[in-house]
Structure formats: C-alpha cells, structure tokens
Structure 1
C-alpha cells in the first residue's frame, strides 16, 4: 500500500464550483442543470484545461469541493487498485491510495467499475474484487477498509463488482451479494456491519432509495429478482422474479409516480405498478432492451438507449415507443453505451458522452430529438463523466481530462 500526499491549494471559479459527488450526480438521477448556460453554448468549442495519465477502469468520475476522484488499476510492480485525487482547477495530483488485488480471469478485467462517493469529507469506494474503503477525501488516509469477500462472504460476479456505494444516513450500502444478503449495510464511520438483506447474489446495478406512498424503499435489482428492501433494517418488502441471462442486471432502475421500470439486454423492459408489492404493468422483451446506460425521464416520457435501435423515447406508463434515433448518437455495437444527463431540463436540453468519447448536445422531446453539436473530448470510454458547473471531467483507460464548455 502506498500513499502520496502533497499540499495543494484549491482555487475554483464560481461557475465551476458545483459538485458531482456520486454516481450520476448529486441525487444519482442524471440531472446537471448548471446555471448560466449562454444562449450560443452549442457554438462554443470546448477548451481542454488539463489531462492526467491514469490506468484502466470503467468507473465514473466524481467531483467535490474542488477535487476530482477516479479509480484505476495498475498491474506492476504489484497488481493494485487505486483511488486517485486531482485538483479540479489544475489537474495536479493531490494523493493516491492503493490496495493489492488479484483480478485473475475476470471478464473485461481492465480495472474498477464503480464511482467514488464523496460526503462530508470522506470518500467511499468499492473495488472490482470487493474491497470497500472509506478514505479521508482531502488526504487519502484510510479510515476503514473491509474486504467484503473475506469478511462478509460476498461472491465476485463474472464481470466484478460494479455497483457504486450508496450512502444513506449513517450507513453505506453495498450491492455485493454477501452470504444471506444481496445488499450489505456498513456503518459509514466504522465499517462495521449493520445489516444485510435480499435473496440475490450480486448484480451490477447501483441500488437506489425511492419513496413510495410515504415509505422509503431500497430498490436492488439483482440477477434473479427485482428486490425492495427496508433501508433501515434490510428486511425484504417484496421481490419480483426476473432472471437475467448471464446475470447482467446493470442499468439503473427508474421510479416515478408509482411506476418502477427496469430494463435488461436479453429480456427487455418491465414496468411495475407499486402497492404493497409489485404488479406487472407492462413488458416489452424485444423492442425496449437497455444494457448499461441509465435512462432519463421528463413528463412521463423515458429516454433510454436500446441495444439495437439507439436512443428511444417511450411512455413510462404504457411502454408505447414514440421514436428511435437509429444509432446516430452513439455507435451501433453489441454493447452500445452512452452516459446521458439533463443539461437544461426545462428546455429539454440534454448532454451525453458516447462510447467514442464524443460530447453531444441534444434536445429530447416526445415528438423528436435534435442534435445541436458534438465535440471529441476523449478516446473510447464507457465510464460516466462528471458534469460540474461549466466543466466536464471524463476518463478513458489512459487519461483523465477536464474541459471548460463555455
């Protein structure tokens, strides 16, 4: 284990001060909506501020208090996973923290899959082999560390642990498929186990907490069930069977107005009407098939990447498909990917980073989509970027980059 700590001052302009502290932003819902977007923003060519060399990984980028966080893997002189921290303004490395791992024959085993979650001066990370860490966000010092495989009986799935840590009150929630618990809750200050719950082994989908009929539920989509747990105790509220080929429950579920949507690559989308349990509202096994990309929602319309047809718009409550973009926004592929966020939701303006590393501005409406501009900002990537103020931070298997957008 190695720690490199340097003293550095953080100087952030007002326009770049907003945070992106966890997977998919502050509320993990893909909403960016920065202030001060200029009228001619789509004609303004992005300006690269800095780049830094990093190792490989699929985990997204996060930003908090002027610092940028990302995970990677190094194979020599020892095989280690790392959390890296950079100054958001200059790109200067502040610290790195590492621990030894062995990926073995893990499929797509280039590096970590999850995003670092930053809260109250602490950084929470989960590696692909199940090492959960709580670090001091300013220095990288390990505050606690738990190997969930050795300590909790977690079983590493085919493509490694991918769900990002979720912080709920005094607990950090990990979707690691521990023995007798799909999700395990650790005390966020000590790392001690608080509870575990759910019948499934580990999938790849980051859990989320919803509030339905005034009651909080933890939705954990696993390889064999859609699961609802009590986030305070881990007790199972309900489960709905949905066995996924190869266990690839990946894309984040979506909840709105009593309806919960999940979508898988092999067996398509299912929408449930929630009550005391979950009742199937509609399903489409062939024409609405998501994989990794998390959907967006506005006014009852879902915008989601389909495995064959590209970005689609469909009605949440009926499943009626309104349009498909025919693979123009991200390349057609057996594993298509884009990271999609609301840029100005009130004006139907979205931004996405596609698998080719292109930043694309687009308007999304029930009747059509319209591309406004696209800019090459990094190489090929599946990792979710961080959007903070007027900047985007993106990573590939070789570098981390920062761009000013206006």
Structure 2
C-alpha cells in the first residue's frame, strides 16, 4: 500500500522536485549551476540530438524569460504578441515531447515600458511544490497550481505596492524561501516578503527606495543572520529576512541605464557586476551586532563589466562575458587589473554551467559553445547554432533567454522559439 499512498500524494501535491530539476531562475540554487552530471562532453558538428522543438508563436508565446523544469514538466511564460499590450500566459509542457499539458492566460495589468526590444514577459517561473509563481512585465505577480494552472492569488507591484515599472519592464524572477515569496517592486515599493500560500504581505522594506533593476534576489546567511541580497538600479543591498530591515547598501560602481546581472555569492563574499561602464565590485559580509556590515574588497574594477547574460562562479573563479574583454575567467576574491584569461569565443551572451562545462549562448546568432570551466584557458569542446531564429522579435532584441540544463536536456529559447536537445550520455 505504500506505493499507492505515494502515488496519491504525487497526484494531490503536483510535480515533485528532483536533484536534476531547474525549478527557478538560474537553476536549483540560483547560481547558474545544473545538478546534471552524466552529460555529453562533445557534440557532433550540427549539435546534439534535437529531441523536439516548438516554432509556432501560439505554443509558448513571445518573451525573453527562460523555462523552469520540474520532473517531466516544463513551465514557461509568454505573451500573444511583441507589443507591451499583449496578453501574457503561462504554458506547461511535457519535457518528453513538448505536448501542452495546460495553458493559463493572465489578467495583464496595463502599464508602460519600452517595448522597442520586444514585448512579452522577461522572467522565469518559480516552481515550489504544488505551486508556480510568475511575474509579468508590468508587475503582475501570480500564483498558479502546478498541476492545472489554476489561479490561487494575484498581486500587482504598481497598484498594490507603489512600485515603478523599469524602463524595459519587470524582469525579476520570484524567490521562494521557506513560506515566503520575495520580490522587488522598486521605488516606494522597496522589497517585499509575501506569504506564498495567500499572497498576504509579511513585511515591506520601505527603507529601500531604489528603482527596480532587472536582477533577481538571492538568500544567504551571515553570522546567523539570514538575509536577501539584491542588485537595484542604484545599489547592491542586503535585507534582513526576519523583518525586512535594510542591513547594508553599497554602490561603488556606476550603475546606469540597465542593471541586469544577478549577484554572485561565495561564502561571506558577494560579487556585483553591471554594464554601461560600471564594471564589478566585491564585498565581504560580516556580523555587526544584530546586523551585517559590508566591507569593500575592491570596487570600480573594469575587468568584468557584464551587460546581458550574467556571470557565474565555479570554485574561486567568475566566468562570463565582459563588454571590454569578451569571455573571461576572473579571480572573484583577489580581483586584480587583469583577467585570468580572456577570449572572444562565440561572442556576447548568457552562460550556464553543468558537469564541468560552461554553456555559452551567443545573443546575436544563437550559437551555443561548450567550454571547459577551467582557469587554464578558454577550451572550447563543441559548438552549434539553433536551427532557426525568431521572426517576431524586433531587430533591437537579441537571444536573451539563458540556457537551461535539466533531466539530461539542454533547453534553448529565442523569443517565440523553443529547442530541446538530448545531451545525456548513452547508457553503457
């Protein structure tokens, strides 16, 4: 009878997370790392086997957000057109063959943002137990059931929290930490914690009045103090988890225009980077009474200036694209005036990591390079390009969704297009 109980529990609770899932922005730990380990280390010239693809805009809609994967299900948010007025919706697909399991249209709240780069959502769904949490481009935060996509509750950052829509739309992906959901409405909305089951406000950090950037929140603990780390349009910040108190705020680099990359954590250290000449900075977080202080390790460093695509850490090193240097390896704690190595590679793009390799996804042409994650130099194992490019995104838009590696699959999006490749090693 135990297996019967387990089956009934799964049917009631929805998809169950496993080690190889990608349940939220940048993977299980929000660090760009996949838990998959048994993956191909080289690919044929035309790429790994294409398991399935969706190329009709009616399937997943338009948007720049990456998918989330839990078990045999893939969740993605899109819109029915390339304008900011397009209705947004969430689609749940079978990871095996791309078959649609459900689709839920959202009540898209009118709001203004610059859609010259293309309308549609920019965020990644967050899957937690039997719920899916999504954030639309005009600040619609919605909780859905993972099983059928039924709406449980909804909020809007502008109407409910006096938030301010960023120039190119809200792009943050919600963070679930225990019973709470964390997000950044920005401006008078600050940073908020909600009850994930009801949407009720737990606390609101009104000390923070920075505009919302395009980054997403991380959770860490310093000297027994749990806190949320975020990058806004003006600052790097830490907010106490228990009550929403602003613990620290830093801003040595000149953040401007669009602040996009999610911070990187390494023990008590935090690393920030941004484009438009900002560069990067690193701080050591230390206990300070019942709070935390951020002590500068270095700032205004120009070696890593990441515009789009983010950076990630493997061991002691930061990897990603820098506007000034191409793809770089950089010692996170030591800093310095030179990268460990640099290489133009496949050109500017986003990056994810799995089983010892970087997956570098070029924003201009959708080329994906498999590069060994080592401080010993840029070592490209294989590369290929997605078979077709979006015909719907405006010319100013690029291939901005990050690679997702989950369940032995490599998932690549270009606006309304979705390609799923099998990169698992054959069984012996």
Q: TM-score, normalised by structure 2?
A: 0.83
Match of 1:342 in 2: 353
What are the equivalent positions in structure 2 for 1:328-339 lying under 5 Å apart?
328-330=345-347, 336-338=348-350
Q: Paired residue for 2:76, among 54, 70, 84?
A: 70
* Residue-by-residue CA offset, 1:303-348 (whole Å, 9 max, x unaligned): 1210131111111122133344332222xxxxx322x222213xxx
How far did 1:368 drift? 0.8
1:229 and 2:239 aligned: yes
1:137 and 2:146 aligned: yes
For residues 87 and 35 of structure 2, what CA distance do their matches in structure 1 show?
36
How far did 1:76 drift? 9.6
Q: Paired residue for 1:281, among 297, 300, 312?
A: 297
Match of 2:278 in 1: 267
**Secondary structure of residue in 2 paired with 1:325:** strand
1:126 and 2:160 aligned: no
For residues 239 and 209 of structure 2, what CA distance do their matches in structure 1 show?
10
For residues 162 and 76 of structure 1, what CA distance do their matches in structure 2 show?
16
Q: Paired residue for 1:196, among 204, 215, 234?
A: 204
For residues 37 and 395 of structure 1, what CA distance do their matches in structure 2 show?
20
Match of 2:414 in 1: 396
**Secondary structure of residue in 2 paired with 1:59:** coil
Preserved CA contact (<8 Å) 2:81 2:119:
no
For residues 36 and 267 of structure 1, what CA distance do their matches in structure 2 show?
38
Match of 1:156 in 2: 165
Moved more, 151-160 or 369-378: 369-378
Q: TM-score, normalised by structure 1?
A: 0.87
- C-alpha RMSD of the superposition: 2.4
**Secondary structure of residue in 2 paired with 1:42:** coil
Preserved CA contact (<8 Å) 1:254 1:260:
yes
Instruction: In structure 2, list runs of 5 or more residues that go unmatched.
Output: 1-10, 12-17, 390-397
How far did 1:191 drift? 0.8
For residues 81 and 39 of structure 2, what CA distance do their matches in structure 1 show?
42
How far did 1:296 drift? 2.1
Match of 2:195 in 1: 187
1:297 and 2:338 aligned: no
* Residue-by-residue CA offset, 1:90-144 (whole Å, 9 max, x unaligned): 1111111122344545243421111000011110000010000000112111011
For residues 156 and 209 of structure 1, what CA distance do their matches in structure 2 show?
23
Match of 1:51 in 2: 53
Preserved CA contact (<8 Å) 1:152 1:178:
no
Preserved CA contact (<8 Å) 1:47 1:404:
yes
For residues 221 and 398 of structure 1, what CA distance do their matches in structure 2 show?
28
For residues 389 and 286 of structure 1, what CA distance do their matches in structure 2 show?
37
**Secondary structure of residue in 1 paired with 2:61:** coil
Q: 1:300 to 1:48 in 2, by over 3 A?
A: same
How far did 1:215 drift? 2.6
Preserved CA contact (<8 Å) 1:124 1:165:
yes
Match of 1:61 in 2: 67
For residues 419 and 98 of structure 2, what CA distance do their matches in structure 1 show?
8
Q: 1:354 to 1:220 in 2, by over 3 A?
A: same
Match of 1:37 in 2: 39
Instruction: In structure 1, list runs of 5 or more residues that go unmatched.
Output: 1-8, 10-15, 331-335
Preserved CA contact (<8 Å) 1:81 1:101:
no
How far did 1:34 drift? 1.7
Q: Paired residue for 1:114, among 123, 126, 136?
A: 123
Q: 1:133 to 1:178 in 2, by over 3 A?
A: farther
> Aligned residue pairs: how many?
381
Select the structure that is richer in strand: 1
